[in-house]
Structure 1
Amino acid sequence: MTPVRTPAAQSLQAALGASVDPLGYARQLLPLHRAWSEGARIRSEVRPVIARSWKRAPGRGGESRLLPEDQLAARRRGNQEMSILGELLGDRLLPLAGQAENQLVITDGEGYILSVRGPRAVRRQSDGIGFIPGARWREADVGTNGIGTVMVERIPMQVFGPEHAREEQHAWVCTSAPIVNPATGALVATVTLAGSFRTAHPHTLALVSATAREAEGELLRLHQLELDELRSAVDGPGGRYVLVDGHLAVAASRGFDCPARLPVPGGLQEGNVWVRGLGAMHAAPVPGGWLLRPVAERVVLELCSGPVPKVVISVGSERTEVPLGWRHWQILELLARRHQGVDADGLAELWPGPVSAVTVRAEVSRLRAKLGGIIAARPYRLTVPVVFSC
């Protein structure tokens, strides 16, 4: 019988409900894992989040890469987020880890284990399966597991017993959550409580998830302080401008309707640059970030088919390259040849068969997200001069 989960457990991807016997549930999962590992179709009883992982990382995965001690030490020193959050994570989770005979495992954003803390008995057991500092635990390395699967799914979840790809991990439950830096949107860490599958409980997942959210909140608070310092350092420039930090997060602006972070392909460098939604801007470095002001430089769009299609946006002498998929290249080429503009029906001729206007508009929307104000709508048309090259 499939265990019944509470709504909270479902939203957090708990492996089983509080009243479910872990041993009995593990026995239910074993034939499902065995069938999958032998190449059979994944059964519907498998949790969707686990089924997706089994499809992504069939079999046992590859081999976990182990960093030399000097490289591990360098990663620890260079991980600014974990130097900030390490104490918070330990304070919130180590007491439960000790009581539940679990260990606290923290990785960086690439899946390398930075630290393992907890009861010695649990540590001795985890050493035997390579769950040690310096090891990398992506799905591609060791198959379905709490760390690697959370890195892909970006949600708090448990991986229980035979849901793990490798049989030597079937005695374990891993309760994991991702930590994303709000300033960059990048995954900077995962935090996991790992122990015997008999210790599995949805409350563990709630605590790990809440701790990860608290960690992200702390990173956001510190980032807001950095933005405040940037605003203070560049006080009230005249005219229209946008002030951003090194992550392109907007600290202040005048005369522009800006998103929280600027979309700039390839990042900023001093000089003229095309910024989606803003147009041609001059970027000048300031302490802690960049000051952007509008410029009247001529903008030209260069279409280059080549082996890999791309466009080059030229603002004066500055050039920004944007790689394109083949469909986006075709759309731009058609727009370049039809100066009067094209509606969705006109663009539909690029598809080999019948296609809905909704599909066409969605594809153009994705292209406009790359190029911004270069493509106008109603009808779709290019707003800057175009040249063909390559």
Structure 2
Amino acid sequence: MSDKRIDSAIRSDRDFRATARRLATVHEAALSGVASGGAPLAAPRAVIGESWRRVLVSGVDPDRDRPQSPLPVAELEHRRQASPLSAVLPVLHEGLLPAADAAQQIMVVTDAEGRVLWREGSAPVRRMADRLGFDKGADWTEGVVGTNAIGTALVARRPVLVHSAEHFVRSHQQWTCAAAPLHDPRDGRLLGTVDISGPAPSFHPTTLSLVSAVARLAEGELRSRHQLSLDRLRSSAAPVLARVGGRALAVDPSGWVVGVTGLTPPDRVALPKAPQAGPLWLPRYGRCALEPLPGGWLIRVGDREPGLAPSRAVLDVGGPDGPAVTVSGPAGSWTHALTPRHAELLFVLAAHPRGRSAAELARDLFGDASRAVTVRAELSRLRRHLGSVLAHRPYRFADGVEVELRLPAARAQLLPHSLAPAVAAARLG
């Protein structure tokens, strides 16, 4: 059943009951198909079917809740204070709490690991949630509680509605939830989710749209705060750059450029995860020196030195923070978070050490060799970050770079968002 059909089907109590029965039939058919080794007669929506396959691999029992291990109070408070989402709680409250209270629902905010950091809204619904262990500090990932809007949105990296019997675990099937992921505008890092949950009959079909819109407002607020910090750094860095002889850049801690001298200004520079003052090697500029600025760094660019080129690349496509590549060499190491498309490209290149042509990569990613132009454009963007780590003719990791590929523990969890034929084939082993 499509998202639109679900939205239109829950507009009345009678429709809700009919939809719930229909979804329960799909749920039972899917589990029966798995048990018998055959295909179910009725198929769930694609996002739900993919989630059910993942939670089956994780060993989630549809008839039994896994016991929760909520965070200790001190750890919960630490995560709250460290989370950038604390700055946008007023936006989330203003956008969602009135609607949640009116509809007898609750608003939940999690971190990127699926841990519930904040939970507010209807008191009766909070008490209902308590009986499921859906409380502050709880782990609401798919591997613990099965298919649900929070855990599934964290994997799918997009807004998700999970209605009634689309929940994998039967004790959750009296609920409906809608969640949207929240990202850090500085580096695209997943910060967590915002979710509206409540009894299935009380849910309104526009809730997913509302949650998605408020999530975008919250990300806009984070973007505005980041821009203000860049403006402050730009003001303090300008007189420093004016006195620098040679080539230099001023960047914030995430590598966003606020000023340059002697160079064409890029938007961003890939910095090490924990940069320290002193010499370092950067993929675009080679040998550099890093000096602290109030709120950022001054990068003095020197001559390229072949002896400082990177010698090792670790491509992690199974880590909890999303796909990333870590490059290291004599001058240190740095990590670059990857977009879904760039993660697919590097995975294929790591799996084919001798390299791939643009046409071959187009077949690997799209199943269509004619999309080679798209592949070349993506690789051009990727090489802006990785520089001499990648080579071309054919496209590959550069000679002399040792490549380590880190996969998830279960191959079925490999880049779960990806529809690329090469990734789908790798999931099957």
Contact 1:183 1:247 in 2 (8 A): yes
The answer as to 2:246 corresponding to 1:231 is no
The answer as to 2:74 corresponding to 1:75 is no
The aligned runs of 1:1-390 (5 Å cut-off) are: 2=1, 5=4, 17=9, 19=11, 21-38=15-32, 39-40=34-35, 41=39, 45-58=43-56, 60=60, 63-82=67-86, 84-236=87-239, 237-238=241-242, 239-257=246-264, 259-264=266-271, 266=273, 268-296=275-303, 298-300=305-307, 301=309, 312-314=328-330, 318-320=331-333, 328=350, 331=353, 344=357, 365=379, 368=383, 371-373=386-388, 377=392
Contact 1:114 1:134 in 2 (8 A): yes
After superposing the two structures, state which structure 1 stretch, 288-297 or 53-62, moved more. Answer: 53-62
Contact 1:230 1:288 in 2 (8 A): yes
The CA deviation at 1:161 is: 0.7
The CA deviation at 1:273 is: 2.4
Q: 1:302, 1:99 → 2: CA distance?
A: 57
Q: 1:302, 1:185 → 2: CA distance?
A: 24
SS of residue matched to 1:194:
strand
2:321 matched residue in structure 1: none
Contact 2:270 2:334 in 1 (8 A): no
Q: 1:207, 1:380 → 2: CA distance?
A: 43
Supply the AA of the counterpart residue of 1:147. Answer: I
Supply the AA of the counterpart residue of 1:284. Answer: E
Q: 1:211, 1:326 → 2: CA distance?
A: 36
Supply the AA of the counterpart residue of 1:5. Answer: K
Q: 1:259, 1:63 → 2: CA distance?
A: 49
Contact 1:157 1:177 in 2 (8 A): yes
Aligned length: 358
CA RMSD of aligned residues (A): 4.0
CA distance 1:199–1:287, change in 2 (3 Å)? same
The CA deviation at 1:312 is: 5.0
Q: 1:134, 1:30 → 2: CA distance?
A: 30
SS of residue matched to 1:202:
coil
Contact 1:280 1:299 in 2 (8 A): no
SS of residue matched to 1:125:
helix
The CA deviation at 1:327 is: 5.7
CA distance 1:289–1:43, change in 2 (3 Å)? farther
Give the TM-score normalised by the residue count of structure 2. Answer: 0.71
- Paired-residue identity, %: 34
Supply the AA of the counterpart residue of 1:224. Answer: Q
Contact 2:29 2:42 in 1 (8 A): no
Q: 1:230, 1:191 → 2: CA distance?
A: 31
CA distance 1:195–1:273, change in 2 (3 Å)? same
Q: 1:195, 1:380 → 2: CA distance?
A: 50
Please list the CA deviations of residues 192-240 of structure 1 after superposition, one character each: whole Å capped at 9, or x if unmatched.
1111111233311111111110000000000000011111111141443
Give the TM-score normalised by the residue count of structure 1. Answer: 0.77
Contact 1:65 1:141 in 2 (8 A): no
Q: Which has the higher helix share?
A: 2
Supply the AA of the counterpart residue of 2:201. Answer: R
The CA deviation at 1:94 is: 1.1
Supply the AA of the counterpart residue of 1:183. Answer: R
Q: 1:33, 1:153 → 2: CA distance?
A: 20
Query: Larger C-alpha radius of gyration, 1 or 2?
Result: 1
Supply the AA of the counterpart residue of 1:78. Answer: A
